[in-house]
Amino acid sequence: MKNLFPLILCLFLFTGHIQANDGYKLWLDYQPIEHAELEQTVSELFSGIYFYGENPSYDIIQKELELASQGFLNKMPSYSSERFQGANLWVGTREELSQFLGLEHQAKIKALGEEGYWRGTIIHEGKNYYALIGNSPVATLYATFDFLKSIQSNTFDGSIEKSDFQKVKLRMLNHWDNLDRTVERGYSGFSIWDWHRLPGYVDPRYIDYARANASLGINAVSLTNVNANAWILREDFVEKVKVLADIFRPYGIQVFLTARFSAPIEMGNLETADPLDKQVQNFWKERVDMIYEAIPDFGGFLVKANSEGQPGPHEYGRNHAEGANMLADALSPHGGIVIWRAFVYSHEIDEDRHKQANLEFEPLDGKFQDNVIVQVKNGAIDFQPREPFHPLFGAVKETNLGMEFQITQEYLGQATQLVYLGTMWEEILQSKTYRPTASNTVAGIIDGSDSKQNLTLMAGVSNIGTDRNWTGHLFGQSNWYAFGQLAWDPDRSAEEVSEEWIKLTFGQKAEVHSKIKEIMLTSHEAAVNYMTPLGLHHLMGRSHHYGPGPWVEGGRADWTSLYYHRADSLGIGFDRTETGSGALEQYASEISQKWTNPKQTPEKFLLWFHHLPWDYEMQSGNTLWEEIGLHYDGGVKTAREMRTQWRQLENQIDSARFSHVDQLLGIQIEEAEWWRNSSLLYFQTFADRPFPESIEKPEGDLEFYKQQRFPFAPGIRPNW
């Protein structure tokens, strides 16, 4: 066998050379170290690894170090069986290494919490050992990933100590994956959960998925769609879930499932799902016990109830707290939790849907059990290109609130357009809520520093699928990455995170960095401009949510684009001040009093809160109509500029990834033009004014743009 190795290596190198980079390896693509000095240091460290114990997480660390060593140095690492002799790199927990850490140092590491870690050099009897130390084996895995990232991004320095800890307890991906492997609002292929072949067949992807998440500190995953199918609670499905949970455990990832509220009727042969009914309570208790029998560290349930037609406690005259607490009671003996979504849209309510969550949840403040978290979308409408923060943040004091971001770009060009979401999330997280105290931010509520809640959560609706590069668009990976990093620390800067991702994904070249960073940091604003500038929202086509549809009529009165933009011959925008729906009053008075005046409302939210005349004077001195035109046109120009920048990198990026992104940027420009032209032509029918001189005049006629362009767009919710 041995003498075949050179041949295999040759083949590997050869195919490696011509093989395109398909993006599968994500940000964990350990490329050869280019700097001789760093290579020397890393080579020494990898030539004497000593593990202070044995456990499944250390097995994973070992595998990761081997992968990294092969990538960085093109050789396997060597291990030392003895901690001093021949050892250079120590891997262990704080307890395992306690004799080498002074009391003060131990206390400092301990204070970082269960998932906190420290890495740095320990000098013992004159010799240096580089140590990766966590407060738990999983935290040591986090230290390892951080150490490897520093090598990959050429920033490793043995003389610098680094410690870090999670600011949010649950850092969670929400998969909207159906049991038939379609993914609601998923644009990168099918679900990676192969339910049909589980539990017998274990797709190696499950492991790479877990590695990627652990490398970001993501520690929880809900496997199934919030529009839930009760079957996932069947014993045979739980056997399948168990396989995934067993794989994920040593990576520190806990599994959650979505619970369909009507499951007692659908699978328990009961006539009711009333949360106060004894039999219903027993049904859930038995299901939960069965799940914990198979998966002792099961996380709990994520629930969408009484929203968009999903069953819930309202059918029985009970409220959200009664529904959530019933499930919480079943889960609490096992340490499980309920994540109850505040995204509640009922068909009946025909007043401003912006207000519904606050109306339903504020009166229930203090009524939820301790093991319930209410998961709130970042804004009150629905993952729009830009929304002001959700007014529920800051409005309740005794309810655990968690954040729900959407990583999958349902309303932001899906997997076709390059839109870096880090900046959008940062804008939300850094928003001041002014409640309960003047300095409160959304981030401070999410991580508990302002809200003082113990159970904290940040969830992201996943953009992952079976596409070879996981996320459809290569840059979708940056959103998965940024989500993980902001969930770990909601105060991190989106710019810094983008720099990190670029280095890990594209290597070290300065021009590559600066150009890609520029593209990423301008991309969100560009998309907002060519889709829904100045606070406009929900102008997209009815079912696919991809292209423009500001003209869409019909269906439920509260679900049309017309309902949101309210354009007429006098003006445009949604009056949410007291002369309109009054939704603005759901914010703290510092905000509501100020923003009731359009002149004091940030212009990016202007038409979100105000209906204004076409000739309304903007800060620039332009009229509102002109400014709308300039924004749409500016968005198109930035999209073009993104491609110009990208094309300058042609010889510095491998051709596969270059061409993948280049082609998609081409489509993005066309879409941006389509959005601009159709929206401006449409709004002009109300405004009845000429386009501003300086913009490119929209071509074509409106009827052309109104044709159904995306009848078979992916990810559309069935039966809706």
> What positions carry a catalytic annotation?
308, 382, 410
For residue 251, CA distances in Å to 140, 215, 302, 340, 377 come to: 11, 9, 21, 25, 27
In three-state secondary structure terms, 315 is helix
CA geometry: angle 248, 298, 484, nearest 5 deg: 50
717: left (phi over 0), alpha (psi -120 to 50) or beta: beta
Sign of dihedral through CA atoms 258, 263, 266, 267? positive
Give the DSSP letter of residue 324. H
Q: Is the Cβ of residue 178 or residue 623 nearer to ligand BDP in the bound state?
A: 178
Smallest gap, in angstroms, from Cβ of residue 169 to ligand BDP?
A: 22
Pairing of strands 401-406, 372-377: parallel
Residues in touch with ligand BDP (CB under 6 A) = 184-185, 226-227, 304, 343, 382-383, 410, 717
Q: State which residue, 343 or 368, has the beta carbon closest to ligand BDP.
A: 343
Cβ neighbourhood burial of 163 (10 Å; 0-12, 13-18, 19+): middle
Closest CA to 236 of 195, 180, 265, 176: 195
Strand arrangement of the beta sheet that strand 127-134 belongs to: 49-51, 89-93, 127-134, 117-124, 162-164
Nearer to ligand BDP, 171 or 185 (CB): 185
Smallest distance, ligand BDP to C-beta of residue 716, A: 8
Question: Alpha-carbon torsion 472, 478, 481, 487, what sign?
Answer: negative
| C-beta separation of 318 from 312 below 8 A | no
The smaller minimum CB distance to ligand BDP, of residues 114 and 382, is found at: 382
Helix locations, 2-124, DSSP H: 5-18, 36-46, 56-73, 103-110
Q: Render 583-606 in DSSP notation, one character per residue.
A: GGGGS-HHHHHHHTSGGGS-GGGH
Residues in Cβ contact with 700 at an 8 Å cutoff, skipping those fewer than 6 apart: 677, 681
* Residue 230: CB minimum distance to ligand BDP, A: 17
Taking the complex as a whole, how short is the minimal distance between the CB of residue 586 and ligand BDP, in angstroms?
Answer: 20
Cis previous bond, 602, omega within 30: no
Q: Collapsing DSSP states into helix, strand and coil, what is residue 47?
A: coil
How many CB atoms are located within 10 Å of the residue 438 CB?
10
The DSSP secondary structure of 629-679, one letter per residue, reads HHHHHHHHHHHHHHHHHHHTTGGGS-HHHHHHHHHHHHHHHHHHHHHHHHH
Q: CB-based contacts of 96: which residues, under 8 Å, 6+ apart?
A: 52, 53
Query: Between residues 211 and 260, which has the closer beta carbon with respect to ligand BDP?
Result: 260
Largest CA-CA distance found in the chain, in angstroms, rounded: 83
| Shortest separation between residue 225's beta carbon and ligand BDP, angstroms | 8
Please list the helix, strand and coil fractions of the chain in percent, rounded to the nearest 5, in that order: 45, 10, 45
- Which CB atom, from 138 or from 226, has the smaller least distance to ligand BDP? 226
Q: Give the number of other CB atoms < 10 A from CB of residue 278.
A: 8
What is the residue-wise DSSP string for 274-287? Answer: -TT-HHHHHHHHHH
CB of 410 to ligand BDP, least distance (A): 6
Give the shortest CB-339-to-ligand BDP separation in angstroms. 13
Instruction: Classify each residue of 81-110 as buried b or exposed e, where b means 16 or more C-beta atoms within 10 Å of its C-beta.
Output: eebeeebbbbbbbbebbeebbeeebbeebe
CA 90, CA 104: separation in Å to the nearest integer? 20
Task: Pick between residue 304 and residue 524 the one whose CB is nearest to ligand BDP.
Answer: 304
- CB of 152 or CB of 408, closer to ligand BDP: 408
| Residue number, 325 or 384, with CB nearest to ligand BDP | 384
Do the bridges between strand 89-93 and strand 127-134 make them parallel or antiparallel, or are there none, so unpaired?
Answer: parallel
- Comparing CB distances to ligand BDP, the nearer of 116 and 413 is 413
Which residue type occupies 611?
A: H
Cα(368)–Cα(391) distance, integer angstroms:
19
Query: Please, which residue, 185 or 676, has the CB nearer to ligand BDP?
Result: 185
205 to 188, 263, 432: CA distances (angstroms)? 15, 31, 40
Q: CB-wise, 162 or 181, nearer to ligand BDP?
A: 181
Would residue 317 be called left, alpha or beta, if left means φ above 0 and alpha means ψ between -120 and 50 degrees? Answer: left
CA dist 111 → 120, 491, 512, 585 (Å): 17, 19, 39, 41
Q: How far is the CB of 185 from ligand BDP (least distance, A)?
A: 5
Q: Shortest approach of ligand BDP to residue 262 CB, angstroms?
A: 16
Q: How far is the CB of 713 from ligand BDP (least distance, A)?
A: 12
Cβ 227 to ligand BDP, closest distance in Å?
5
**C-beta closer to ligand BDP: residue 407 or 695:** 407
